[in-house]
Amino acid sequence: MKNIILVGFMGTGKTTVGAHLAAQLHVPLLDMAPLIETTEKKSIPQIFADHGEAHFRNLERALVQQLAPTHGSIISTGGGIVLNPDNLSDFAQHGLVACLTATPQTILQRVRDDQNRPLLAGDKEKQIQALLAQRQPLYDTIPFQVQTDDRSPQEIAQSILNEYHQQFG
């Protein structure tokens, strides 16, 4: 089985939908954020505080290079994975890249109480709008888009599986 790679802005449902897909397909969910935290023995906010975003993006890139050529996994990426186009290119060679989308209002509702998002320090609503505006053109380059507003994780997972079967049989 080729990988299914979930990409999208924070709060679009990558980890939740990934867990549903992994359980349904009986394959591992490789969630990049916890993998980086385990390797670094630090939380994502602590990595950002100690070493900055550029260092985190380098860790993320190294993990993409490690995970992309594997098979039979659901991979949940961080929202900033699109900042390096090589990440998407590497993943697309080895599986289905699905971009999960949601409105800024839905994203804010989902991440409002989450303290583990260093890029949302301060006014979360303003930060979401600014980051989304910056990254939207990058997300838009991904051919397969799945809107997640007002849909259950099961419905979203089924849409992704339908596309996977269309592409890979």
Contact 76, 97 (CB under 8 A): no
pLDDT of residue 118: 65
Q: What is the pLDDT of residue 111?
A: 86
Per-residue pLDDT for 38 more than 90?
yes
Find the mean pLDDT for residues 16-42. 96
Contact 141, 87 (CB under 8 A): no
> Kindly report the CA angle at 36 between 45 and 69, in degrees rounded to 5?
145
**Residue 82 DSSP class:** G
Choose the CATH number for 3-168 among 2.30.40.10, 3.40.50.300, 3.40.50.620, 3.40.50.720.
3.40.50.300
**Look-up: residue for tokens 């961080």?**
78
* Residue 88: partners with Cβ closer than 8 Å, 6 or more residues away: 7, 81, 82, 97, 141, 142
User: Mean pLDDT for the chain?
Assistant: 93
Average of per-residue pLDDT across 9-18: 95
Length of the chain: 169
Listed by start position, the domains of the chain span: 3-168
- Counting beta carbons within 10 angstroms of the beta carbon of residue 99, is it exposed (0 to 12), middle (13 to 18) or buried (19 or more)? buried
Give the pLDDT confidence of 62-121 residue by residue, as tens digits. 999 999 999 999 999 998 999 999 999 999 999 999 999 999 999 999 988 776 776 667
Structure confidence at residue 124 (pLDDT): 83
Describe the crossing of helices 53-67 and 44-51 by its angle, rounded to 10 degrees.
130
pLDDT number for residue 123? 81
Give me the pLDDT at residue 94, please: 93
pLDDT digits (tens, 9 = 90+) for 125-145: 888 999 999 999 999 999 999
